[in-house]
Amino acid sequence: MRNHDVPAPIRKAVFPVAGLGTRFLPATKAMPKEMLTVVDRPLIQYVVDEARDAGIEHFIMVTGRNKAVIEDHFDIAYELEATLKERNKTAALDGLRRDQVGGGEMTFTRQQEPLGLGHAVWCAREIVGNEPFAVILPDMIMRGETSCLDQMLKTYHETGGNLISVEECDPSETASYGIVGIGEAVGNAYRMTSMVEKPKPEDAPSNFYITGRYILQPEIFALLAEGRRGAGNEIQLTDAMLRLLETHPFYACPFRGRTYDCGSKLGFLAANVAFALERDELAADFAAEARALLEAAGR
C-alpha cells in the first residue's frame, strides 16, 4: 500500500457462533459452547469486549439452532437489574451495564445448515456489505497487554489488504494447525505467501499457525458464494482465502500475547487458570488451592 493510501476503516466484526460444541458434550447439549464461562464471563463476552475495545461498531452474530441464549445475554435484563438495584448491589449492576451493547449495534443472522466456517461468514454478507470486516472465532481467547484485534488494526492501517493473526508453535507440532508461509517483513507483520492445513513438519512452510482472528476484504464473499466444498465436504474459509491470495495482498500478524483454544478441554481449563490468576480478588487464594491440589496429586 502506498503511504498516501488510507485503507477503509474496519467497523464490523463477524462472530461465527453456530457450531454444535460436540467436544464439550454433555455441557453443550442445552447450552451454547460460546456461553461456557472462563471464571465468570462467557466466552462470547470476552471476544465482544476485544472487538469493542479495538473500535468495532457493529457486532454480527451468525447463529444456529438453540443459540437464542446468546441474544438474551446481550439484552437488557430488566427484572435482574431492578433486583440488583433494590438490593444495592451496585458493583454487579455496573458490571452488567458495562457489558451491554448499544441498541442497533448487534445483529443476529442464522446459518441454517452446518456447512462450514466459510459458509457462516458468507451468511453475514448482506449485513457486512461492500466494506472490509473482521472475523473473530469465539473459541479462541487472547491474553496480552493489548488485544489481538487492536494489534491487527494498527498493522492494517499501515498495510491495508487482508490480515490473519498468527503465533509460533513448536516446529514438530505443525500437523495440528493451519500454517502460513511468510515472505518479507512489513512493519510488525509478514507478507503471506501460502496457507497449508495441518502439514507434516517436513512440509510446513513455517511454524506460524492461524489463531482465529481475520481482517478480510469484501471480495471474499464472491468466492464463498460459489459454494465450493473442501475438507469435510464443507465450505472452508481457508480455501476462499487461498484463492483471494492469488490477487490480493495478505499479511500474517504475529500476536504479542498468548492464545487459549477454548474449543479444547485443555485450552479451556488453562484459560480459566490464567484468567483467575489475573483477578485480584481470586489470585492468592486460587494459587494456594492449585498448589495444594498439585501436591495432593503428587505433581
Assess whether pLDDT exceeds 60 at residue 200.
yes
Determine contact, residues 82/97, Cβ cutoff 8 Å.
no
What's the gap between Cα 96 and its chain centre? Answer: 22
In the three-class reduction of DSSP (H, G, I as helix; E, B as strand; rest coil), residue 37 is classed as: strand
What's the gap between Cα 295 and its chain centre? Answer: 35
Q: How confident is the model at residue 231 (pLDDT cuts 50, 70, 90)?
A: confident
Q: How confident is the model at residue 279 (pLDDT cuts 50, 70, 90)?
A: very high
In the three-class reduction of DSSP (H, G, I as helix; E, B as strand; rest coil), residue 112 is classed as: coil
Which CATH architecture best describes the domain 12-263?
Alpha-Beta Complex (3.90)
Instruction: Using CA atoms of 266, 208, 12, 236 in order, give the dihedral in degrees to the nearest 10.
Output: -80
- Evaluate the omega torsion of the peptide bond into residue 26 and state whether it is cis, within 30 degrees of 0: yes
60-79 pLDDT, tens digit per residue, is 999 988 888 999 999 888 89
Assess whether pLDDT exceeds 90 at residue 217.
yes
In degrees, rounded to 5, the angle at the alpha carbon of residue 37 between the alpha carbons of residues 34 and 42 is 50
CA distance 192 to 242: 10
Q: How confident is the model at residue 240 (pLDDT cuts 50, 70, 90)?
A: very high
Percent over 90 (pLDDT), the chain: 66
Q: How confident is the model at residue 233 (pLDDT cuts 50, 70, 90)?
A: confident
pTM score over 0.95: no
Query: What per-residue confidence (pLDDT) applies to 2?
Result: 46
131-155 pLDDT, tens digit per residue, is 999 999 999 999 988 999 999 999 9
**Per-domain residue ranges of the chain:** 12-263, 265-299
Query: What per-residue confidence (pLDDT) applies to 30?
Result: 87
List helix spans (H) across the chain: 43-53, 68-73, 78-86, 90-99, 117-122, 125-128, 148-159, 220-225, 237-245, 265-276, 283-296
DSSP 104: T
Q: What is the mean pLDDT of the chain?
A: 91
Query: What per-residue confidence (pLDDT) applies to 99?
Result: 85
Helices (H) and strands (E) in the chain, counts: 11, 13
Task: Locate 140 and state its grid cell.
Answer: 479462541
CA distance 138 to 36: 11
Q: Which residues contact 89 (CB under 8 A, 6 or more apart)?
A: none
CA distance 187 to 189: 6
Query: What per-residue confidence (pLDDT) applies to 6?
Result: 80
Query: What per-residue confidence (pLDDT) applies to 198?
Result: 85
3-32 pLDDT, tens digit per residue, is 447 889 999 999 999 988 889 999 888 889
First-to-last alpha carbon distance for the chain, in angstroms, is 53
169-180 pLDDT, tens digit per residue, is 889 988 888 899
Percent over 70 (pLDDT), the chain: 98
